Structure 1
């Protein structure tokens, strides 16, 4: 069996929008290098200065180099019938696959990753980057970040891996690692295999044990695998996969708790690759304050970070409609509701439809009484109750605790304790605090709307 050890340099970090500028291939027969191929490639686009600063290849250097299609046949012949080997193999493989498929050619080879092999056969090293591996193993590495220099070092590394592979791990990997081809280089197959197929929240961590992404799943194993195989933004996925070294998870028993816990953890950890909850949902709120003359004023505005409105609404339009309804039902003043902007009496007062709070003809005490009546209607649905969902096992139920209409906490209880309404003390003993904000409000509202028969226990 022969191996094609490959290294490429590119115009950028992902195959979808970038091109190859240099390629080096070393054909290895399992003992030594028996053939080689090296070439600069004209990418037919500019090389960004920040990328050029890494590998040292400039636009001028590739101006007269062959275009990929001009040497594609020669490259393919070097790869054909051989196992594709590279350090972080998915990176190099994805670029070549993209290039060949753009020419209408199929590209499918068995793959081996020297990062993954090194982790198995040289366990316990401080780092498995090519530079650090070479330093740890005493492998000469010259012309760093050029395809020829890196591929020569990778070829020596591969020879070392073959020498120490007394258990036949390399051959086992070739035969059995169809699934591993999709896994990130730093993520072990064992870690993936241990993932349960249950609802929960998962955490992707890098080699420094930093959480770089938090997600929720109805089926943890299936959802996590989809990150490595499904469709999506290819450039983000490729960069993302290169960083993943471990997966942690929390079982939630159901989708509602998973959604809420995911939102909470994203805010707490602020992972690099989470974007959805960074784009704030344009919810609005009703705000209350007292002016200098003692009148209670109401206003509607979009909710800003850290603000706590007295009532949340879908958007400002819905908020204004609610205030207009207050105006009609409780004879409130449009000026004091923030609907009519004026420095003098409101327009309704001139028509006889306002009792004069806007110009102090009606006392603050009398006017505020009607405002309070309006606000009391907002509290009619502000009860204390539990939303009940499936737990993590058959004898358990999950709860989401709502207090005075606002989200308070979530947790798990034994089924038997839900026969009667559980005590506040029992709930607090197992509850995890939950922030009532625009994101969690939206999650629960949409979830319950889609499931009108969800179990509810009043407290």
Structure 2
């Protein structure tokens, strides 16, 4: 099945970090297998920046070793010649492929190739095994590791592994596993067949656009590429996915440091862009909550407050967060039945002497609270007690806070909130200052943001940093605004 490839090219890269958009290649190692034999090729690459100490410790590559090495621009022609027409085989192939594509792109060159990931191949051939990293594969298959974390040595390990598989795995099973991994989903006709190569693997949001650039759909995922591909997997395609595929003309995406940033960005853009296929969900929701206020009779009565009101504030004693007034009333009616509350005083039924809903006085066919016999206050307190478990959390901080989210690729997003409102996301101190001081107005209360942030505070997975506006001092240090908190 490999006859149509000119060669198999086992490749490994060493890099300055894990983000192909900001980090660069420091070493390339290739084992090239073709009809003419096996050829090995490697080179150090001058990153034109200091190597991080953790990278030097891991790889053994020092600044002195790469100082006089060729830059990537100098090795690009030879590398491209070797890559041309090959099936690239790498461990965590998306990592190496991403670095190659970004490196060529910086030179104004487009590079595309078919790739095969040996991590995925190992998982498919040996699903019962718990680990599939290179060290586990070395131990499991008895590979000879001359040197670890150097490009050519690791590429040679992959070639050893391939030869072990050819001897240990039946040819039909091997071919079927490789065929399944190389198979790509059929993209809609209007999209570039190579588009999926550009979609990143990490967290973020994606946007589908139709004719005239009309937003069709927004989604989020911790694995963008896999999620976008799932929309076009014919065996699992839903009716909505089929509709989207017919209408789709363009895909865009935005990376985030993690899932929190993706969720916040999705919520903001969904309201801003109103994508057609998200719109039904947005329009169906008319979020509201109950608020207790004094009644003319001296007790307490519930008032429905809409979440899109300018003064909607959980600090004002709000209960429940319902998708519609109808659902809010249904919940209140359920409390009345459970706790023996008067549906007339709750505003659920017109005033009459003997409301027919079950409550403690029902057997007497008479409600003292309805009859004005001094029971309104007691009824109001029972209502407050019944609602207590539904109360929205007051803002738990003295002022604005920054929630710091660090990604696995070294990216850091700083999400700024005040009173459950998301003011925006910054990348540095100057960005925090801008969000705190330059925002034109306080954003409207967003129920989805409230739910997201409630989970953040409850789980305690992120560092939360108080930001006090009155103590904010803008300093210029090398032209960068600093925030003193």
TM-score (norm 2): 0.45
Q: TM-score, normalised by structure 1?
A: 0.47
